[in-house]
């Protein structure tokens, strides 16, 4: 198991934010892993351990997730605030250029980085997200985000995940669900197991229109001119096949990969995803 160090940076409004830092070669841009809405640095554990040594891997925890501080004002749980926070990370950690791997919300942030500072990206992988988000997926996510459920044992937590997300990962075993539970939950001070994020992140998300009120296509097209891989779960209800096809047309030099038998979002441990990441990084070396 590869060790990481805990890194911290400070947002402009005074929150201490956390990332895992896996050491790697200094002559390559770091790989910056950006997680989904309710997720944290542990989502990228397998990927980081596989790449560490050859690549420095930085796994970010957005405000209100994992070991990052919780915001006093829930209205700051929004993409433009996260983008500002990441700008502070670039400045404070002295990151000039990175390879961004963004899952879901993390992929939207990758597009926003491209739109506002394209020189900061040496390459990018968007994991099951695009400039248009399927309303069906947004409604499904709204159905569970911010519900403060808790469980007496890890097995109870795993079975609850299997029940609620079974269609997303139809071939997952109970061992897989246990591993997923340990990535997205923690043991609280009362000994109960609960999700590892501030439940208040649901408040702005509940009233937002997804990305439908903002045209994200220009941000997506700002990824042009560098190695880009677009990943889609074959069963995804967030990134439609039609949008995925349009993305390939708008960014013809991008590599497109469909991960079979999973929905939103691939874990990046699937064999085709592993190969896609390795091939992307080979283009950046």
159 domain residue, yes or no: no
When divided into structural domains, the chain yields a total of 1
The CATH code of the domain that includes 59 is 3.40.50.1820
47 domain residue, yes or no: yes
At residue 26, the pLDDT reads: 96
Residue 251 above 70 pLDDT?
yes
Q: Are 118 and 96 in contact (CB under 8 A)?
A: no
Give the pair of three-digit tokens for residue 129: 């997200």
Q: For residue range 150-168, what is the model confidence (pLDDT) as tens digits?
A: 999 999 999 999 999 999 9
At residue 208, the pLDDT reads: 57
Banded model confidence at residue 2, pLDDT cuts 50, 70, 90: low
241 domain residue, yes or no: yes
At residue 210, the pLDDT reads: 44
257 domain residue, yes or no: yes
Residue 246 above 60 pLDDT?
yes
Q: Cα–Cα distances in Å, from 225 out to 36, 123, 221?
A: 25, 9, 9
277 domain residue, yes or no: yes
**Total-model pTM:** 0.96
Residues 111-118: what's their mean pLDDT?
Answer: 98
What is the distance between the alpha carbons of residues 95 and 215, in angstroms, rounded to a whole number? Answer: 28
User: Which of 38, 5, 42 is closest to 179 using CA atoms?
Assistant: 42
At residue 52, the pLDDT reads: 97
Residue 73 above 60 pLDDT?
yes
Q: Which residue has the tokens 């433009």?
A: 80
Which domain range does residue 102 map to? 5-134+214-284
Residue 213 above 80 pLDDT?
no
Banded model confidence at residue 140, pLDDT cuts 50, 70, 90: confident
Residues 202-207: what's their mean pLDDT?
Answer: 80
What is the distance between the alpha carbons of residues 190 and 175, in angstroms, rounded to a whole number? Answer: 25
First to last CA, the chain: 25
User: Which of 268, 151, 136 is closest to 212 using CA atoms?
Assistant: 136
At residue 1, the pLDDT reads: 60
Looking at every residue in the chain, the average pLDDT score rounds to 95
Banded model confidence at residue 145, pLDDT cuts 50, 70, 90: confident
| Neighbouring residues of 153: CB distance < 8 A, sequence distance ≥ 6 | 193
128 domain residue, yes or no: yes
Q: For residue range 10-47, what is the model confidence (pLDDT) as tens digits?
A: 999 999 999 999 999 999 999 999 999 999 999 999 99
98 domain residue, yes or no: yes
What is the distance between the alpha carbons of residues 39 and 141, in angstroms, rounded to a whole number? Answer: 13
List the Cα angle 124/126/129 in 5-degree steps. 155
| Neighbouring residues of 131: CB distance < 8 A, sequence distance ≥ 6 | 111, 211, 215, 216, 217, 219, 220, 243, 247
What is the distance between the alpha carbons of residues 110 and 230, in angstroms, rounded to a whole number? Answer: 12
At residue 197, the pLDDT reads: 97
At residue 211, the pLDDT reads: 45
Banded model confidence at residue 178, pLDDT cuts 50, 70, 90: very high
Q: Are 55 and 25 in contact (CB under 8 A)?
A: yes
3-state secondary structure 110-138: HHHHHHHCHHHEEEEEEECCCCCCCHHHH
271, exposed or middle or buried, with CB in 10 Å at 0-12, 13-18, 19+? exposed
Between 140 and 197, the more confident residue is 197
Give the pair of three-digit tokens for residue 102: 């963004």
Residues 177-181: what's their mean pLDDT?
Answer: 97
202 domain residue, yes or no: no
Q: Percent of the chain having pLDDT more than 90?
A: 88
């Amino acid at each position: 198991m590869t060790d990481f160090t805990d890194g911290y940076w400070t947002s402009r409004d005074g929150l201490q934010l956390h990332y895992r830092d896996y050491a790697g070669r200094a002559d390559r841009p770091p790989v910056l892993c950006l997680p989904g809405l309710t997720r944290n640095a542990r989502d990228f554990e397998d990927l980081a351990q596989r790449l560490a040594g050859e690549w420095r891997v930085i796994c970010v925890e957005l405000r209100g997730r994992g070991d990052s501080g919780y915001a006093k004002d829930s209205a700051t749980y929004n993409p433009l605030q996260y983008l500002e926070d990441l700008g502070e990370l670039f400045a404070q950690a002295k990151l000039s250029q990175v390879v961004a791997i963004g899952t879901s919300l993390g992929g939207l942030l990758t597009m926003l980085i491209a739109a506002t500072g394209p020189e900061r990206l040496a390459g990018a992988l968007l994991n099951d997200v695009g400039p248009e988000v399927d309303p069906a997926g947004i409604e499904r996510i709204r159905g569970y985000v911010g519900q403060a459920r808790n469980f007496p044992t890890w097995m109870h937590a795993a079975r609850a995940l299997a029940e609620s997300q079974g269609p997303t990962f139809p071939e997952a075993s109970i061992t897989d669900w246990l591993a997923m539970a340990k990535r997205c939950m923690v043991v609280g001070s009362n000994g109960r197991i609960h999700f590892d994020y501030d439940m208040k992140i649901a408040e702005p998300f509940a009233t937002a229109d997804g990305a439908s009120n903002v045209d994200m296509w220009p941000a997506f097209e700002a990824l042009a001119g560098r190695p880009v891989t677009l990943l889609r779960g074959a069963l995804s209800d967030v990134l439609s096949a039609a949008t995925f096809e349009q993305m390939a047309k708008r960014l013809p030099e991008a590599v497109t990969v469909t991960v079979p038998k999973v929905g939103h979002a691939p874990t990046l441990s699937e064999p085709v995803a592993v190969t896609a990441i390795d091939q992307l990084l080979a283009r950046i070396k």
